[in-house]
A = this chain, B = another copy of it.
Amino acid sequence: MESTAGQLLLGLLLLAGLFLAVGLGFAVLVWTPMPAAGRERRPGSYRDRSAGYRAWPRAVAGRLWARARHGRLTLLVAGRLSQAVAHPARLVVSGFTAAVLAGSLLLMLPFATASGHGAPPVTAMFTATSAVCVTGLVVVDTGTYWSGFGELVILLLIQVGGFGIMTLASLLGLLVARRLRMRLRLGAQAETKALGVGEVRGVILGVLRVSVLVELAVAAVLTWRFAVGYANSWSHAGYLGVFHAVSAFNNAGFGLYPDSLMRFAGDPLICLPINAAVIVGGLGFPVLFELRREFRTPRHWSLHTRITVGMSVLCLAAGWLAIAAAEWTNKATLGPLGLADKLLASLTTAVMPRTAGFNSLDVAGMRDLTLLIHDVLMFIGGGSAGTAGGIKVTTFAVLGFVILAEIRGEPSVHALGRRLPSGVQRQALTIALLGVAAITVSTLGLLALTPFTLDAVLFETTSAFATVGLSTGITAHVGTAGHVILGLLMFVGRLGPATAVTALALRERTRRYERAEERPIVG
C-alpha cells in the first residue's frame, strides 16, 4: 500500500462519508421530530414536518445550553433517559451503547489482560462491541490475550448482548403487531399502547428459560467430552464447556482456542452440540416459542415460523452441498480429511455463516468461490428476533415472494397461502438495500485504507455486518480506522434491521396532499 497524501485524503473522505451516512441514517430512523410545545401540529402539512426536522438541531442545542446554564444537566439526562424508554428503538440503541461502553471500561482494567498491562482503548472497545453484538471478530486471541477475568467479562457481554437482542427484538415484534392490529381497528389516530407488564415478563422469562436450558444441555455434553476425550481437569473442562455453549447459543463465535474449532474438525461430539446450539439460537425466540407449543402440528404454524424453518433448512442444505463440492479436494481444507470428517466439517462450515462464526476449517485457505458462497449465506443470515444476524431469512424470502408475484403478474403478493401486507414488502426492500449499501461503502473504505484484496475485504465487511465473526485473518491488521469501520458495521448490522423495521412500522403515517402521478421508464 502506498501511503501517500492522495490516498490518505480519500480514506478520510470515505470514512467521514460513512460516519455521516450511518449517523444520519440512524438519526432519521430512531429520532422522530418533536413538535414544538404550544404549537398545534397540522397533520397533512408537509412544510411543517420538514421544518421540524430542520429546526431540530438548533432547538436541541439551545435547550441543552439553557439547561446547562441553570445546572439542570442531571435533570436533562434523566429526562432524556425516561423519554428513551418510551421510544423502544431508542431504548435498544442506548442499551447496547451502554453495554459496549461498560464492557470497554472493564476490559481496559489492568487485570483484564494476561500481561497485566491493560488493553489499549481501541482493542478493548472493538472486543466489547464484538462481544455485545455477538459477532466474534477479534483483534487479539481471546484465550491467550485476556486474563480469566477478561474472559469472564467477554462471556458476560455475550450473554447480555444475546439475551438483550432476543428479548428486545421479540418485544419490538409484539409491539409492532399490537400497533398494527390497533391501527386496523381504530384507524391511524390510535394512541400508542405500551405492552403490559405481564407480556414483558412472559417474554423475559421465556427467553431466560430457553437460554438456560439449551446452554446447560450443550455445556454438559461439551464438558463431558472436553474432560474425557481431551484429558482436561473437570473444572477446566466445565469452564470450556460453559464458555463454548454460551458463545454458540448466542451465535457469538468467541472461542478459547486460537484456531477456533479447527482441532475438533473431526469430532462430532464437539461439533454437533455446538452446531445444534447455533441453529436453535439462530431461529429466533418467536419461532422457538411457537415450536415448543406446536412442534407436532406444522399446519398450525404461523407464516413467520414456516418461512423461518423452511428457509433455514434450505440455506443449510444448499450451503452444505455447495461448500462440500467447492472444497472437496482443496488441500488446505477438506482435502486431507476422510469421508466422514469431510461431511462433518462441511456441515459445520455450512452452519456457521448463519451467523455463529466458529470455524473448523481454515477460512484463509478456502477458495474464492467458497468465500463468496459464505458472503451470500452470511448476508441472508438467520431468523428474526434471535441471536442470528444478517438481513434475516424472512426478509430474503419476502423479497423473493415479491419478485415471484411481479413475474406472475399478480396484483398482491402471496406467500404460502397468505397475503403479505405492502408495508412489510417495503420494509424488507429497505433493510436489504440499506444492508447492501452499508457493505458496499465500508468495502470501498477498507479497500482504500488497506492493502488487502476484494475477496478478503468483502468477506470481512459482510462478516461484520451480519455479525458472523468469521475472518480470513485480516481483521487484526486493518488499522485503527479499519477497526472503527468494522465496529460500526457490527453495531449497525446487529441493531439496524430490527430497530429500523420497528421505527418504520411504528411511525405515524400522515397523509399528505397527493401529488400528480408520473411514471419514469425503468429497466
Q: Which residues of A contact B (CB under 8 A)?
A: 2, 4, 6-7, 9-10, 13, 25, 28-29, 173, 176-177, 180, 284, 286, 302-304, 307-308, 322, 325-326, 328-330, 367-369, 371-373, 376, 384-385, 391-392, 394-395, 397-399, 402-403, 405-412, 414-415, 417-424, 426-431, 433-434, 440, 443-444, 447-448, 453-455, 457-458, 496-498, 500-501, 504, 507-512, 514-523
Contact = CB atoms under 8 A, between A and B. Distances in A.
Going nearest first, the 4 A-B pairs with the smallest beta carbon separation are: A497-B523, A409-B507, A501-B523, A454-B455
A89 B356 CA distance: 46
Given A303-B518, A368-B453, A384-B520, 19 more contacts: A4-B328, A9-B325, A10-B322, A177-B519, A303-B520, A326-B448, A367-B447, A368-B454, A372-B444, A384-B521, A384-B522, A392-B522, A395-B522, A409-B504, A411-B511, A412-B514, A428-B522, A429-B429, A454-B454
Interface residue SS majority, chain A: helix
Contacts of A9: 325
Nearest to A499: B523
A392 B522 CA distance: 7
A504 B385 contact: no
27 contacts: A4-B329, A10-B325, A28-B408, A29-B407, A177-B519, A180-B519, A303-B520, A304-B518, A304-B519, A304-B520, A326-B448, A367-B447, A368-B453, A369-B444, A372-B443, A385-B521, A403-B434, A407-B430, A410-B512, A411-B509, A417-B515, A419-B516, A419-B517, A424-B519, A424-B522, A428-B523, A453-B455
Given A372-B454, A443-B372, A409 B522 contact: no
A366 B284 CA distance: 44
Given A426-B402, A429-B402, A418 B516 contact: yes
Nearest to A440: B376
Q: Which of A176, A325, A385, A394 has the most CB of B within 10 A?
A: A325
Contacts of A403: 429-430, 433-434
A286 B443 CA distance: 36
A59 to B, nearest CB: 20
Contact of A447 (B372, B384, B399, B454): B372
A373 B417 CA distance: 42
A444 B519 contact: no
Contacts of A385: 521
Q: Which of A417, A453, A500, A521 has the most CB of B within 10 A?
A: A521
Nearest to A447: B369
A379 to B, nearest CB: 10
B329 A2 contact: yes
A408 B430 CA distance: 12
B421 A519 contact: yes
A219 B372 CA distance: 44
Contacts of A176: 521
A448 B423 CA distance: 39
A432 B488 CA distance: 27
A9 B412 CA distance: 40
Nearest to A423: B519
Nearest to A517: B419
B427 A406 contact: yes
Contacts of A448: 326, 369
Contacts of A398: 520, 522
Contacts of A10: 322, 325-326
A500 B521 CA distance: 12
Contacts of A415: 520
A2 B6 CA distance: 40
Contacts of A180: 519
A375 to B, nearest CB: 9
A520 B434 contact: no
B418 A518 contact: yes
Contacts of A500: 523
Given A369-B447, A444-B372, A454-B454, A515 B418 contact: yes
B418 A406 contact: no
Contacts of A369: 444, 447-448
Given A376-B440, A409-B508, A515-B414, A454 B371 contact: yes
A517 B177 CA distance: 13
A523 to B, nearest CB: 3
A398 to B, nearest CB: 6
Contacts of A7: 325-326, 328-329
Nearest to A369: B447
B421 A517 contact: yes
A9 B329 CA distance: 12
B522 A418 contact: no
A23 to B, nearest CB: 14
